[in-house]
Chains A and B, each alone.
Chain A
């Protein structure tokens, strides 16, 4: 499986990576080699194997429906670059 330049641009956009044209050309080859490497797994016969969703043979533990957290807003917001009226501020994301 070989990737195209468009695949690389699309993946970069989905990951919010800003890559320029020169870099993307180099990345087409490099990323293709990584994908091809992983692609070797396709040669393993898996017809009789049940798909698994997690490597651990365990099941999800459930917690009781109880409120155990208290309000720590002031503490958490010390990490935020911008807050106002208790809300986190980000650049405007709607036209």
Chain B
């Protein structure tokens, strides 16, 4: 039997506010434990939460970016459960009336093709603190710095049909929140987190199968592996005559399996009710309009502009605009006057050498060892024929290793391309003199020998002779 996979994602984006959603404590990452936890975050009696305007504005920015309805009136609710890192015994969230309603976004599903995925809602809520189970033997240590950090929970429709689509969707969400500057999108630090609701059903069936919820998906690679594992587990279970149980499962990246989180099951009765400490949130039309006017260029718009203005392929434009930093980097290199009409050259380098080096050293582009202006300096020398593309790769590696800028390395290593016809002719003459047999073969009609002779000339020039000139001059000399 063939199975259809149905996936919906819940993404938590930590909003880039200075202060907490309901208190004036700082939200800076990495601070010493409990130094950024105020009385409101600690859940002291008698304190009142006051909503942070920036968090509301960021939620509206997101809503507008995915063409969603912005609720003119939304309500905060208490989600009740007991856990030591939740001092109040409830999390302030939104339930029946979220700030952002139904929206849509497009995800790439192959060369120039897109699929529209529905967004069910996005709501504001506060984060919980952090429990550390392995620091103190026999006890759990609690750090409440994160408690009260604003989160936007973005819930998708069950529109995703594979792990690859789920990853594409999450990448798109990350791109949007980064472009909007409402979340840094850092999955390692947990500023962007993802839970997946997964079910399978026979191809053609319209009713949804029983779903499981996967938690603890903190990298793109894990998400793909965890979903693939869970899908196969469900299919095997059903094909063996079993039934999928609705439950929360944890992905164990070390063993590459998912396992049931039994402890959470019985607690799944959150008894939501409107928080009496918070009045309804009313958002005026002019507030929404002001946010709309200040929206930056979004990933889809930038992609379309890259295709149009720079004549890039759909694929190149997609890759280059997938993160704001990558797109900014590309445009900074291109912004170097002499390279303005060389988008394809710049695109090839950013997507080729640069991306390969970043991947090799596991770096984000923001931490690139070669900055945009430095790369522009190198590509300028490729463009004006100072060095060949091949030698430019060597120069790039040296730049990456911190040996200086392109010009310094080119001079120090003597890599400047030889474009002086006289000098090239001299090398050619010596190569021809040393290889009389090959010259005879060529003259007898064996054209392939030319490649060998070009290679010899290039070798003798230390790779520095301009290959085009070598080809031309060599042909000339051989037909003389």
Task: Tell me which of B25-33, B112-120, B168-176, B315-323 binds A.
Answer: B25-33
Provided the pairs A62-B51, A69-B23 are in contact, do residues A90 and B18 lie with their beta carbons within 8 angstroms? no
- B454 in the interface (beta carbon within 8 A): no
Please indicate the chain B residues that have their CB under 8 angstroms from the CB of A87 in the complex. 33-34, 132, 135-136, 141-143
CB <8 Å contact, A59 and B141: no
Indicate if the CB atoms of A77 and B34 lie closer than 8 Å: yes
* Chain B residue with the shortest CB-CB distance to A76: B42
B139 sits at the interface (CB 8 A) = yes
Q: Does A84 contact B (CB under 8 A)?
A: yes
| B3 interfacial contact with A, CB 8 Å | no
A71 touches B35 (CB 8 A): yes
The answer to whether A67 and B37 have CB atoms under 8 Å apart is no
Q: Smallest CB-CB separation from B54: which chain A residue?
A: A65
B139 touches A65 (CB 8 A): no
14-63 of chain A: CB within 8 A of chain B: 14, 16, 53-54, 56, 58-63
Contacting B at CB under 8 A, from A51-95, are 53-54, 56, 58-69, 71-73, 76-77, 82, 84-95
Asked whether B141 lies within 8 Å of A69 as measured between CB atoms, the reply is no
With contacts A77-B34, A88-B34, A90-B140 taken as known, whether A59 is within 8 angstroms of B23 at the C-beta atoms is no
Q: Judging by beta carbons under 8 Å apart, are B52 and A85 in contact?
A: no
**How many residues of chain A get a CB closer than 8 Å to chain B's CBs?**
37
- Interface segment among B210-218, B276-284, B367-375, B456-464: the answer is B276-284
> How many Å from the CB of A76 to the closest CB on chain B?
6
B residues in contact with A73, CB < 8 Å = 34-35, 37
Closest to B132 in A: A87
CA distance A90 to B133 in the complex (A): 10
Evaluate contact between B97 and A53: CB separation under 8 angstroms: yes
A-side interface mostly:
loop
Q: Given known contacts A14-B269, A61-B50, A63-B53, is B276 in contact with A90 (CB within 8 Å)?
A: no
Alpha-carbon distance A82/B140, docked complex (angstroms): 11
Q: How far is the CB of B296 from chain A (nearest CB, A)?
A: 19
Q: How far is the CA of A72 from the CA of B143 in the complex (A)?
A: 14
In whole Å, how far is A75's beta carbon from the nearest beta carbon of chain B? Answer: 10
Select which of A53, A54, A66, A93 is within 8 A of B131 by beta carbon. A93
Beyond A66-B19, A87-B135, A89-B142, is A60–B84 a contact (Cβ under 8 Å)? no
Q: Give Cα A64–Cα B20 distance, bound, in whole angstroms.
A: 11
Residue of A nearest to B24 (CB): A68
In the complex the two chains form, is A92's CB within 8 Å of B140's CB?
yes
Q: Are A63 and B50 in contact (CB under 8 A)?
A: yes
- Which A residues contact B (CB, under 8 angstroms)? 10, 13-14, 16, 53-54, 56, 58-69, 71-73, 76-77, 82, 84-95
7 A-B pairs with C-beta separation under 8 A = A54-B278, A59-B281, A69-B24, A69-B25, A72-B38, A88-B141, A91-B140
| Further contacts, 7 of them, CB under 8 A, given A66-B19, A92-B138 | A54-B276, A60-B281, A65-B54, A69-B23, A84-B136, A89-B136, A91-B140
